[in-house]
Amino acid sequence: SQTIHQWPATLVQPVGSPLSLECTVEGTSNPNLYWYRQAAGRGLQLLFYSVGIGQISSEVPQNLSASRPQDRQFILSSKKLLLSDSGFYLCAWSKGRGNYGYTFGSGTRLTVV
Amino acid sequence: DQQVKQNSPSLSVQEGRISILNCDYTNSMFDYFLWYKKYPAEGPTFLISISSIKDKNEDGRFTVFLNKSAKHLSLHIVPSQPGDSAVYFCGGATNKLIFGTGTLLAVQP
């Protein structure tokens, strides 16, 4: 069966510090991978998605970047965090375009102080 | 450009009654639509989906209706239970899933 792992679960970082959140998927190959963010009192905003190794699409201009160094690994990064980067970050995967559903990780609560 | 909209931020329903959650979209390229349920500090969990070529899909207490001409879909929960209390997100999907802003459903015992 397929599983998705996301870590860390919580993170408190000072403004200006770097960020690296990691997501891995098991039990499938060539998944589509996604990073979402839920800011306080807001909806689920798509940040990045990837349909293959090294292929990253950015949905919104921001202080963050994403990379996919391996087929089932998706990394969210920042060189210098801003207060506005605080939020709940979710990784997700799907089999691709079609009614396959999207499976989400358990999320990372990032607080920038 | 908000492609998926949930105009009701919250809904309160009595236990045993019907909950109706609404969603509007603007992107006619969506292949299918999904509803997710989310608790605080957890990832969303999948509830039900519907293809863009269908107008209804039912799974137990959950039914999703799609009106393509109106670009509107709704989720019906019958009967509503206190455990259904959560934030519900609708989403439209192509090769990516775009969510609405969510509706907080409170089912009162």
Whether B92 contacts chain A with CB within 8 A: no
* Mean pLDDT of the B36-58 span: 95
Give residue for tokens 């391996």.
A70
Note whether A98 contacts B46, CB cutoff 8 Å. Answer: no
Hey, what are B63's tokens? 């039914």
Average pLDDT estimate for A41-52 = 90
Task: List B35's β-bridge partners, or say none.
Answer: B48, B90
Characterize the bridge pairing of strands A3-7 and A19-26. Answer: antiparallel
The pLDDT confidence band at residue A53, using thresholds 50, 70 and 90, is very high
The pLDDT of residue A39 is: 84
d(C-alpha B89, C-alpha A69), whole Å = 30
Distance CA A8, CA A107 (A): 8
Across-strand partners of B99? B91
Rounded to 5 degrees, φ, ψ at B82 are -55, -35
- Per the CB < 8 Å rule, is A104 touching B97? no
**Chain A positions in Cβ-Cβ contact with residue B51 (cut-off 8 Å):** 99
| pLDDT over threshold 80, residue B91 | yes
Chain A nearest CA to B75, separation (Å) = 17
Provide the 8-state DSSP code for A14: -
- With contacts defined as CB-CB under 8 Å, which chain B residues touch A36? 99
If phi over 0 gives left and psi between -120 and 50 gives alpha, with beta otherwise, what is residue B5? beta
A1 pLDDT above the threshold of 90: no
Phi, psi of B30 (to 5 degrees): -60, 135
Work out the minimum CA distance from B81 to partner chain A, whole angstroms: 24
Residue A42 is predicted with a pLDDT of 76
Is it the case that residue B95 has pLDDT exceeding 90?
Answer: no
The alpha carbon of residue B98 is apart from the nearest alpha carbon of chain A, in Å, by 7
A-chain CB neighbours of B27 within 8 Å are: none
Is residue B96 within 8 angstroms of chain A, CB to CB? yes
A99·B96 Cβ contact <8 A: no
> Measured between beta carbons, which residues in chain B are less than 8 angstroms from residue A60?
none
Residue A20 has pLDDT above 90, yes or no: yes
Report the distance separating Cα A61 and Cα A84, nearest Å: 13
Strands B86-93 and B62-67: unpaired
Compute the mean pLDDT over every residue in chain B, rounded to the nearest whole number. Answer: 95
Q: With a cut of 80, say whether residue B1 has pLDDT above it.
A: no
Q: What is the pLDDT of residues A65-110, one digit of tens each?
A: 999 999 999 999 999 999 999 999 999 999 877 777 899 999 999 9
Encoding tokens for residue A108? 């990372």
Facing residue for B43 by CB, picked from A49, A59, A104: A104
Q: Which of B88, B9, B14 is nearest to B46 (CA)?
A: B88
Q: What local confidence, expressed as pLDDT, does residue A96 receive?
A: 77
Please, are residues A47 and A23 in contact by the beta-carbon 8 Å criterion?
no
